[in-house]
Amino acid sequence: MGLRGRLLAAFAYVLLLVIVALVVPLALNLISRAEAEAEAHAQSQAHLIAAAIAGNMQDRAELRRVARQAAGDLGGRVIVVGSRARVFADSAGRGLEGRSYRSRPEIAEALAERRPVQLRRQSRSLDQELLVTAVPVLVGGKATGVVRVTQSFEAIERSGRRDALALVGFGAVALALGLGAAWLVAGSLARPLRNLAGTARSVADGNLEARAAREGAREQRELADAFNEMTGRLGGVLEAQREFVANASHQLRTPLTGLRLRLEAAALKAGNTELERELAAAEREAERLSRLLNGLLTLAREGGDPGPGRPVELDLLAEEAAERWREPARRSGHELVLAGDGDAVAEASRDDLLMALDNLIENALHYSPAGTAVTVEWSQNREWASLAVADEGPGIAPAERARVFQRFYRGASAASQPGTGLGLAIVDSVARRWGGRTQIEERRPRGTRIELVLPRAPGFDEA
Ligand SMILES: Nc1ncnc2c1ncn2[C@@H]1O[C@H](COP(=O)(O)OP(=O)(O)O)[C@@H](O)[C@H]1O
Ligand SMILES: [Mg+2]
């Protein structure tokens, strides 16, 4: 689950807890309060009626009027009985007048005890719970009658429930508002983190100039600052390291050249075949060391600013390289072939491309058997110019293809060959420095084709 989801879940949990803890007791309280109020109201109304009619219980017409009016006000039924429990007036009509209500417990009790009686009763005829309130009509301490009010409990409960429902609705709105706010807060927390992750990935991809935006809460801004500081330092350290490797390689070159010259001179003076062989071997080692230094120097420039590119005519470049490799190819028993269709002009540095091509041709001569052809190819399309070297050797196994571009990696086929493991790393570094890429293809029936794809120089149209 994302940060936003987690925060939202936590918020929802707390909000629900608080709302339930508040709303449930409040709603129950509301319902019981509504009931208590209805009971008190019924009693006070019954008392009022009793007081109003105490003086003239004989005026039936007046009693009926009062009963009807009170029934309308209270939303129930009002009857007035005399001292012997006979009905004097009934808000529901005159049908029951004269009937004895002594059997009704509330009326009997109110008459006997001369005090108000209130009870709940299930009405069988109406099939609902009734609130029954009976108040004696007292004249000089004697009960001259009873006012009885009956109300449906359902109506009272309904109003209580309505209030409780309103409360629950209020709780739901509060929950929705709280979650909305949490959604916004969670988003504002998550966004800077996501942006920071994006910047970190950009740095990981080699863009050491990438900086995180300072946004969000104070802690998040601190994190962005710390991240930027770290990236800045990292850039500095890498730059220093690059410089160090470049300087060291450069400084080592001069004494190495001196060493080679001396070995050569010594070999000339040796006059002893055994010693000459040893000196020739030492010279080869020195040559290898010098190649290694050149490679390191090239790779040390990686990531630095290559400066502006120039149009490089790949056909001329291929011819020049072929010229240089003609003799070594003859010695190793390879046929060096040039194969291009028309012009191809890349935007890059000539020296860089020559170095890459040298490495590719050298590999092809090293790793393919004598008697086969090594082909240097060039071509271009709308966007890209390409330079490739193809051989008829053992090929590079798919599992090895990504690794052969790593520095110092030497493949299975390299065991018997001299080499530094820097050749293809340099080719790839050159391609990337000029905005291009390298790709390895398998050839049928056998062989490898390694291609350098570079941006085409603008303004050089296909011939
Ligand atoms: N043309 C090729 N055919 C087969 N294997 C190759 C070829 N070019 C490169 N390789 C493999 O890729 C590895 C890395 O090449 P490279 O970086 O030039 O290092 P090196 O040639 O010094 O070993 C080699 O050791 C070899 O195993
Ligand atoms: Mg090589």
Q: Is 391 in the pocket of ligand 1 (CB under 6 A)?
A: yes
Q: Which ligand is nearest to the CA of 408?
A: 1
Q: Is 421 in the pocket of ligand 1 (CB under 6 A)?
A: yes
Q: Whole domain around residue 146: which residue ranges?
A: 3-159
As a three-state string, the secondary structure of the chain is CCHHHHHHHHHHHHHHHHHHHHHHHHHHHHHHHHHHHHHHHHHHHHHHHHHHHCCCCCCHHHHHHHHHHHHHHHCEEEEEEECCCEEEEECCCCCCCCCECCCCHHHHHHHHHCCCEEEEEEECCCCEEEEEEEEEEEECCEEEEEEEEEEEHHHHHHHHHHHHHHHHHHHHHHHHHHHHHHHHHHHHHHHHHHHHHHHHHHHHCCCCCCCCCCCCCHHHHHHHHHHHHHHHHHHHHHHHHHHHHHHHHHHHHHHHHHHHHHHHHHHHHHCCHHHHHHHHHHHHHHHHHHHHHHHHHHHHCCCCCCCCCEEEEHHHHHHHHHHHHHHHHHHHCCEEEEEECCCCEEEECHHHHHHHHHHHHHHHHHHCCCCCEEEEEEEECCCEEEEEEECCCCCCCHHHHCHHHCCCCCCHHHCCCCCCCCHHHHHHHHHHHCCCEEEEEECCCCCEEEEEEEEECCCCCCC
Q: Do 134 and 259 belong to one domain?
A: no
Q: Do 432 and 366 belong to one domain?
A: yes
Q: Is 423 in the pocket of ligand 1 (CB under 6 A)?
A: yes
Q: Do 26 and 111 belong to one domain?
A: yes
Q: Is 396 in the pocket of ligand 1 (CB under 6 A)?
A: yes
| Centroid of ligand 2 to alpha carbon of 422 (angstroms) | 7
Residue 292 domain-assigned (yes or no): yes
Q: Do 154 and 238 belong to one domain?
A: no
Residue pLDDT tens, the chain, 463 long: 888 889 889 989 999 999 999 988 998 888 888 889 989 999 999 999 999 998 888 899 999 999 999 999 888 899 999 999 999 999 998 888 999 999 999 999 999 999 999 998 888 777 888 999 999 999 988 899 999 999 988 877 787 888 889 989 999 999 999 999 999 988 888 899 999 999 999 988 778 889 999 998 899 999 999 999 999 999 999 889 888 888 888 888 889 999 999 999 998 888 888 998 889 889 888 887 887 788 788 887 776 677 788 999 999 999 999 998 999 999 999 999 999 988 899 999 988 898 899 999 999 999 999 999 999 999 999 999 999 999 999 999 988 998 999 988 998 778 777 788 889 999 999 999 899 999 999 998 999 999 999 999 987 654 4
Q: Is 364 in the pocket of ligand 1 (CB under 6 A)?
A: yes
Q: Do 399 and 363 belong to one domain?
A: yes
Q: Do 243 and 336 belong to one domain?
A: no
Q: Do 370 and 394 belong to one domain?
A: yes
Where a domain ends, among 277, 300, 323? 300
Atom of ligand 1 nearest to the CA of 424: 17
Residue 167 domain-assigned (yes or no): no
What DSSP character marks residue 86? B
406, 407, 424: residue to mutate for ligand 1 pocket, most atoms within 8 A of CB = 424
Dihedral sign from CA coordinates of 152, 156, 159, 160: negative
Q: Do 335 and 392 belong to one domain?
A: yes
Q: Do 49 and 149 belong to one domain?
A: yes
Q: Is 393 in the pocket of ligand 1 (CB under 6 A)?
A: yes
Locate tokens 């009937």: which residue? 99
Residue 207 domain-assigned (yes or no): no
Beta-strand pair 437-442/384-390: unpaired
Q: What is the CATH number of the domain that holds 282?
A: 1.10.287.130
Q: Do 350 and 400 belong to one domain?
A: yes
Residue 371 domain-assigned (yes or no): yes
Q: What is the CATH number of the domain that holds 386?
A: 3.30.565.10
Number of domains in the chain: 3
Residue 173 domain-assigned (yes or no): no
Residue 245 domain-assigned (yes or no): yes
Q: Do 282 and 386 belong to one domain?
A: no
Residue 341 domain-assigned (yes or no): yes
Residue 191 domain-assigned (yes or no): no
Q: Is 387 in the pocket of ligand 1 (CB under 6 A)?
A: no
| Centroid of ligand 1 to alpha carbon of 339 (angstroms) | 22
Q: Do 148 and 228 belong to one domain?
A: no
